[in-house]
A and B are shown apart, each in its own frame.
Chain A
Amino acid sequence: MGWRALACATLAAAAALAGAGCGGSDEDRGGTLVAAEDQAPPILNVLLADGATVPAQRVMSNILQNLLTVDERGRYVPQLAESVPAGEDVRAGPLRVTFRLRPEARWSDGRRVTSADAVFTWRTMTDPDVQVAGRTGWDRIRAITPGRTAAGGACPPRTCFTVAFRGDYAPWRDLFSVAGGYYLLPRHVLRGEDLNTVWNDGGVVGSGPYTLAEFRPRVRAVLEADPDWWASGDAGGGPFIDRIVINFLEGPAAALTALRGGEAQLVSPPPDPALIRRARGIDGVVVDQVPSVFLEHIALNTRVPPLDDPAVRRALAYAIDREEITRVLLDGDVPVLDSLLRPFQPGYAPVFERYRYDPRRARGELEAAGWRAGADGVYARDGRPLEVELVVPSEGALRRTTGRLIAERAREAGIRVRVRPETSDRLFGAILGRGDFQAAMFAIGGGVDPSVTGLLASDQVPGPANGFSGQNVYGVADPALDRLLARSDRLIDDDLRAEALGRVQEVVAEEVPLIPLYQQPNTVAHVEALEGVRVNPSQAEVYWNSAEWRLRR
């Protein structure tokens, strides 16, 4: 073997090593990805009340960013910030958090992302004229001070700022995270504009990997890769796909038909197993799923009989076969959820594990509370049979079939469950608002932060004081629980908070104001040629890592 062969071998080895380091050739760069959505977003502005929709979020998460986001395992990771603030940068009593922006962060027009943008975002979210969906937490911020750290020291004012809260506020991370549905806004573009209407025709400037090339209301949104994206190195040189076209179709069936017919390469169907089964049946299509932040549960109205008796509520929990529901109706795609919190949230404790389907124990609870089985097998007390009316949203077949399955199994435990479908509007409006129900099945959830105060605090019970719009539809009014919840919202230390939340979950498992069923799956169905998609459990959703995607030729 001469020196030439040795040189060749060395070159080849070097090339192989270089190739292995790069991962993917330049031939995989470019192309157009067509995605089909199952509804059109009314407006693009996800921060507004009418714009906080799933399709709008999916479009905007390619264009806009926030200080933090959530990865596919549900953990907070930095996006515009250098790191998730911790240690010295987080001081309690009252809470002060220091964020350090990455100095190389740029908006798509080349201007730097600075602390002034953070201040502007806060002022916009608390501006009384802007019709933002929710100000939860934003009105707890007292000030945002560039150039100062939580410890009181100094830092470069352009990229470093401290958020000072009034009091301690544990869910602070969600305010600055894409998973909370919030984004950092560019001050130099939006200052002086009316945020209620500025993005009606597009013109969104962000710091994300894609820019909004075209927005045709009710038809489609076209995103183009930003060739000078500041975080290209993070994504290994991305974004690789030149253009993402998001078509708005009429209904998930139409979206799946488009995927089937080659008119689209990516669809994210809602958590309906029939649709997911349909997606799996398409040749050449890969289906990825992950249990999401949204949980399907049965809300029990603790203020009306017969559910005002915790024994009856516990009996009902024993009488529902949650394992069968996830196995049969959801094809085992998601596991049974054993708490009000989700497994990836800090403080999660599987307190509902004890409520496996057990008709015998259900009967035991009922009999201990004075109910007696009637001739038809249904329990009765004082001549009144044990009947529970379960209200379900009428849209889609899944809720109705789940309700029917529940009714079947509950009958074996001596409880008669009647299913009553109502439109979502009626359910979330008059019915839940006025407490006009015994049991209702619907999904809750949203942010990654485990705070459940909005659901269980006594001042959140819908009533005249809050215009019947509180979210504590269960009617829980326990002062001790209130104190526990308020405390857990103030505990900045994660371990202490986990402990407090653990106690909250214990109370929930004892009193059973609700029965958690399962986490709704976040699903993505895409052609095999699309690589790099990692499903995300939070509202950061499908496109959270779109800069890393490639379309194989």
Chain B
Amino acid sequence: MTGYAARRLLGAIPLLAVVSLIAYLLLYRAADPVARLRQIPTVRPEDVERLVEQQGLDRPWYEGYWAWLSGFVRGEWGVSATNRGVDASEPILAAIPATLELMLLALAVSAAGALAVALTSARRPGGPADHALGGLALLGFATPTFLVGVLLQLGALWMRDHGWAVLPFAAGLLLALAGLARLRRGGAATIALIVAGAALAALAAALWGRLGGDGRVVLYTGQRFSFDREGDLFSVDHLQHLVLPVLTLALVNLAVWSRYQRAVLVEAMASEPVRAARARGLPERRLLLAHGLRTSLGPLVVLVGLDLGALFAGAVVTETVFSWPGLGLLLRDAALARDINVAMGIVMITAAAVVVANLAADLAAAALDPRVRLGERPA
């Protein structure tokens, strides 16, 4: 296995080199540093000339690329055009923790959510819950991430003015609905669900005006920390900043993964060993939880690895909507400002991360599912 991994990684290096060349060419075409200088009122032609020379702005692309490449392998990623005092690697490295935090949390929420949804759906394939969740998943697939972010921001502003009682109210309604869906089957669980749901909703309605709503912020719509809690990862303030961006980023993946997981589970529940176990009299729920869960974890891990690129794309948009100081926002700013070195750095990092993640996914697939041979991907 290590041999395979080593071969994969080494084989990726020439690919990465080609990618870097193409990316540099494209970015070089896009940049026009003189334009920026001209917009400053006090700049005169002789100043522009001086600055172009001082900053080496008129080099041909191959000279620029060579300079970049020779610096890159040594860890000097070139001077950031928008932050001339520092090497491009500095803002990139500073931004990584924020993006990592966002992506990991969103990943966890998506994975857990997708499993939960898939389990509920696979319980009774074709049933009302399955249809409802499937419909919601389709809706989640079809919605642009930035739209979700903006709508959530709207919601946060509404809650600032009207309080957050709407959250327990909605939760109560959902519980009651879930209970009603099981009405035909009856039983203690159904009654408990309906009663609990109705009670929660009623309580929330009674406290409607009393829970917040006085102008205090419930959930933040921008940035990562408040100024007086900067760096305090485990504070309530940080949590208030995290909720909306993580939900935004998690939603699409949740929708897509839950459909995949459901299919895997349904297939697992119809497979030989499970049918045999069912014939032996094991209860459905235990079968689902034990066997189903076990077989679906493997594909889920592979999923996560393969979807890294899509997750980062989501992060770019989410960070823009919520001013989250991460790699995605940095890429967007570098793009708008035509900052070649920072953009190249981010392109190379994400490419390398995708290579590693794909490799990890393949290794995980081979490890978790003995039927898959190394080098094969699920069809």
- Cβ contacts under 8 Å, B45 to chain A: 460, 462, 465-467, 469-470
In the complex where A43-B84, A131-B54 touch, is A258 in contact with B46 (Cβ < 8 A)? no
Q: By the criterion CB–CB under 8 Å, are A446 and B42 in contact?
A: yes
Please judge, given known A-B contacts A48-B84, A134-B42, A466-B49, whether A424 and B35 are in contact too, CB under 8 Å.
yes
Q: Residues of A contacting B368 with CB < 8 Å? A: none
Contact flag A447-B41 (CB < 8 Å), given A49-B51, A200-B86, A430-B32: yes
Flag whether B329 is at the interface (Cβ < 8 A). yes
Q: What bracket does the count of chain B residues touching chain A fall in?
A: 35 or more
Q: How far is the CB of B310 from chain A (nearest CB, A)?
A: 22
Q: Which of B41, B224, B320 contacts A444 (CB 8 A)?
A: B41
Q: In the complex, are the beta carbons of B230 and A428 less than 8 A apart?
A: no
CB < 8 Å neighbour of B32 from A220, A258, A425, A446: A425
A387 to B5 Cα, complex, angstroms? 64
Within 8 A of A (CB), among B84-112: 84-86, 91, 94-95
B91 touches A217 (CB 8 A): yes
Q: Which residues of B contact A40 (CB under 8 A)?
A: 333
Q: How far is the CA of A68 from the CA of B32 in the complex (A)?
A: 35
Residues of B close to A429: CB separation below 8 A: 32, 34-35, 38
Q: Is the CB of A425 within 8 A of B325?
A: no
Closest to A137 in B: B42
Nearest CB of chain B from residue A245's CB, rounded to whole Å: 4
Evaluate contact between A250 and B320: CB separation under 8 angstroms: yes
Taking CB atoms, residues of chain B closer than 8 Å to A260 are: 157
**Given A42-B83, A425-B32, A466-B46, are A261 and B38 also a contact pair (CB < 8 Å)?**
no
Judging by beta carbons under 8 Å apart, are A263 and B220 in contact? yes
Decide: A218 near B32, CB < 8 A? Known: A460-B45, A469-B48.
no
* CB-based A-B contact count at 8 angstroms: 179
Are A131 and B84 interface neighbours, CB within 8 A? yes
Q: Which residue of A lies closest to B49 (CB)?
A: A467
Query: In the bound complex, do residue A50 and residue B38 qualify as a contact, i.e. CB atoms below 8 Å apart?
Result: no
Interface of B is mostly: helix
A437 to chain B, nearest CB (A): 14
Q: Considering the complex, which residues of chain A in the window 200-259 have a beta carbon less than 8 Å from any beta carbon of chain B?
A: 200, 214, 216-220, 222, 245, 247-251, 254, 257-258
- Whether B156 and A261, one on each chain, are in contact in the complex, defined by CB atoms closer than 8 angstroms, is yes
State A248–B215 Cα separation when bound (angstroms).
22
Are B230 and A249 in contact, with the CB atoms below 8 A?
A: no
The complex places the Cα of A131 from the Cα of B51 at a distance, in Å, of 7
- Asked whether A131 lies within 8 Å of B227 as measured between CB atoms, the reply is no
A257/B35 contact (C-beta < 8 A), A262-B216, A467-B45 known: no
Among B34, B35, B41, B50: residue with most chain A CB under 10 A: B41
In chain A, positions 518-549 with a C-beta closer than 8 Å to chain B are none
- Determine the residue in chain A with the shortest Cβ distance to B32: A429
Taking a contact as CB atoms closer than 8 A, the residue among A181, A200, A220, A262 that contacts B227 in the complex is: A220
B319: A residues at CB distance < 8 A = 250
Residue contact A469 to B221, C-beta cutoff 8 Å: no
Residues of B within 8 A of A470 (CB): 44-45
A37-57 at interface with B (beta carbon < 8 Å): 40, 42-43, 48-50, 52
Chain A contacts for B330, CB-based, 8 A: 218
Evaluate contact between A425 and B54: CB separation under 8 angstroms: no
- Out of B43, B156, B160, name the residue touching A49 (CB < 8 Å): B43
A249 to B323 Cα, complex, angstroms? 5
Complex contacts, A50 vs chain B, CB 8 Å: 36, 81-84
Residues of A within 8 A of B15 (CB): none
Min CB distance A243 to B, Å, is: 8
Residues of the A chain whose Cβ atoms lie less than 8 Å from the Cβ of B222 = 36, 247, 249-250, 254, 257-258, 263
Residue B52 is within 8 A (CB to CB) of chain A in the complex: yes
> Whole-angstrom distance between the alpha carbons of A58 and B322 in the complex?
23
Q: How far is the CB of B368 from chain A (nearest CB, A)?
A: 40
Are A196 and B37 touching (Cβ within 8 A)? no
A133 within 8 A of partner (CB): yes
Q: Which residues of B are found within 8 Å of A52, using beta-carbon distances?
A: 40, 42
Q: Which residues of B contact A131 (CB under 8 A)?
A: 51, 54-55, 84
| Chain A residues with CB under 8 A of B153 | 257
Who on chain A is nearest to B231 by CB? Answer: A216
Q: Is A110 an interface residue (CB 8 A)?
A: no
Is the CB–CB distance between B38 and A257 below 8 Å? Answer: no
Interface pair A218/B91, CB less than 8 Å apart: yes
Q: Provide the bound-state CA to CA distance between A261 and B159, in Å.
A: 10
A471 to B321, CA, bound (A): 36
Nearest Cβ distance between residue A183 and chain B, in whole angstroms? 13
A132 to B42, CA, bound (A): 10
* A427 on interface, CB distance cutoff 8 Å: yes
The reply on B2 being an interface residue by CB < 8 A is no
A32–chain B nearest beta-carbon distance, Å = 8
A181 to B81 CA separation, bound complex (whole angstroms): 21
Say if the beta carbon of B217 comes within 8 Å of chain A: yes
Q: Which residues from chain A contact B80 at a C-beta distance below 8 Å? A: 42
A181 to B45, CA, bound (A): 18
A454 within 8 A of B: yes
> B271 an interface residue at 8 Å Cβ cutoff?
no
Instruction: Tell me the complex Cα distance, A128–B50, Å.
Output: 9
Contact with A along B71-86 (1 / 0, CB 8 A): 0000000001111111
Show 22 residue pairs from A and B whose CB-CB distance is below 8 angstroms, ordered by the A residue: A32-B227, A42-B337, A43-B84, A48-B84, A49-B47, A134-B47, A135-B47, A196-B84, A197-B86, A218-B330, A220-B227, A222-B227, A247-B223, A257-B222, A263-B220, A428-B35, A429-B34, A430-B35, A445-B41, A460-B45, A467-B52, A469-B38
